[in-house]
């Protein structure tokens, strides 16, 4: 299936209880108190095969919310989102890893949860192990891993499902230089093969190496969409986002 992401008037709302905790709409109605906040408002864009796109903007601007919505973790409250292709995401350092399980056990479990047949998952275990570069630590509990080791494992596990859409959210910034180059190389290969890469973070030099296009988010709204250098300039205040 050809990779594609289309957002049209996309909106994502968060509801809070009196203690400021995010709750479901059902709990919000039952408690009858609290507030709401829109993580995304009227966001419209389209990603096509071969696109490598950076999400930039200040903290709290909606970058992670947008990635989680594309990944299917969050559901839109308004507008439309059409995602075509197999999605692999690394949206946090832990990336769904279970600390009590080893790297190998996490790889098996997450592969099954992603829809990878058990036999295929077992066949790919050694490849995952090699790509992590963890050596014998691959068979140690994840609770003993550093942040960088967890990020290495999370990326290798995500990659094993052969995604056509890869989502990265700041976790690459926790990687050492050697493995960061591996991530960039894998992402570039995916783009050349007609896949889509969407990366968010504050490491603009890394994002610029990886992405030719950028979306600037401000207060949950799409302020600018265009070539990376132009959008970055807008973010840094060199030109007005509304210009």
Q: pLDDT by residue (tens digit) across 33-53?
A: 556 788 999 999 999 999 999
Specify the pairing of strand 52-56 against strand 35-47: unpaired
Of 91, 74, 85, nearest to 5 by C-alpha is 85
DSSP state of 135: G
Q: How far is the C-alpha of 219 from the C-alpha of 4, rounded, in Å?
A: 25
Find the helix packing angle between 103-113 and 147-159, rounded to 10°.
40
| 44-235 topology per CATH | Rossmann fold (3.40.50)
Of 94, 37, 80, 47, nearest to 199 by C-alpha is 47
- Contact call for residues 172 and 67 (beta carbons, < 8 A): no
Of 228, 177, 231, nearest to 52 by C-alpha is 228
Q: How far is the C-alpha of 14 from the C-alpha of 71, rounded, in Å?
A: 17
Distances (CA, A) of 171 to 74, 88, 91, 120: 19, 14, 7, 27
Q: How far is the C-alpha of 112 from the C-alpha of 8, rounded, in Å?
A: 32
pLDDT of residue 32: 54
pLDDT of residue 27: 47
Q: pLDDT by residue (tens digit) across 5-38?
A: 999 999 998 876 665 565 555 444 545 555 678 8
Spans of the chain below 50 pLDDT: 26-28, 30, 243
pLDDT of residue 46: 97
pLDDT of residue 126: 86
DSSP for 167-204, please give it.
EEESGGGGS-HHHHHHHHHHHHHHHHTT-EEEEE-S-H
| Contacting residues for 26 by C-beta, under 8 A, at least 6 apart | none
Element of type H or E holding 27: helix 25-31
- Match 């950076």 to its residue by tokens: 54
Backbone angles phi, psi at 52, to 5 degrees: -125, 110
pLDDT of residue 214: 97
Query: 0.85 exceeded by the pTM?
Result: no
DSSP state of 102: B
Mean residue pLDDT of the chain comes to 84
């Amino acid at each position: 299936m050809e990779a594609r992401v289309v957002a049209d008037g996309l909106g994502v709302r968060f509801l809070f209880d009196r203690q400021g905790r995010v709750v479901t709409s059902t709990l919000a109605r039952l408690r009858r108190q609290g507030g709401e906040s829109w993580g995304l408002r009227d966001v419209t864009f389209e990603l096509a095969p071969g696109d490598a796109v950076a999400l930039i903007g200040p903290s709290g601007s909606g970058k992670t919310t947008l990635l989680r919505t594309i990944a299917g973790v969050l559901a839109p409250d308004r507008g439309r989102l059409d995602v075509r292709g197999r999605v692999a995401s690394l949206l946090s350092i832990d990336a769904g890893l279970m600390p009590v399980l080893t790297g190998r056990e996490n790889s098996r479990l997450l592969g099954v949860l992603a829809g990878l047949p058990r036999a295929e998952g077992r066949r790919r275990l050694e490849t995952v192990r090699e790509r992590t570069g963890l050596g014998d630590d691959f068979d140690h509990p994840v609770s003993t891993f550093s942040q960088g080791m967890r990020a290495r494992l999370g990326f290798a596990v995500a990659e094993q499902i052969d995604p056509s859409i890869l989502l990265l959210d700041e976790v690459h910034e926790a990687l050492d230089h050697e493995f960061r180059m591996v991530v960039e190389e894998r992402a570039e290969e995916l783009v050349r093969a007609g896949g889509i890469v969407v990366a968010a973070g504050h490491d603009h030099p890394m994002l610029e190496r990886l992405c030719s296009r950028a979306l600037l988010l401000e207060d949950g709204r799409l302020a600018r969409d265009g070539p990376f250098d132009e959008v970055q300039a807008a973010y840094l205040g060199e030109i007005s986002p509304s210009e």
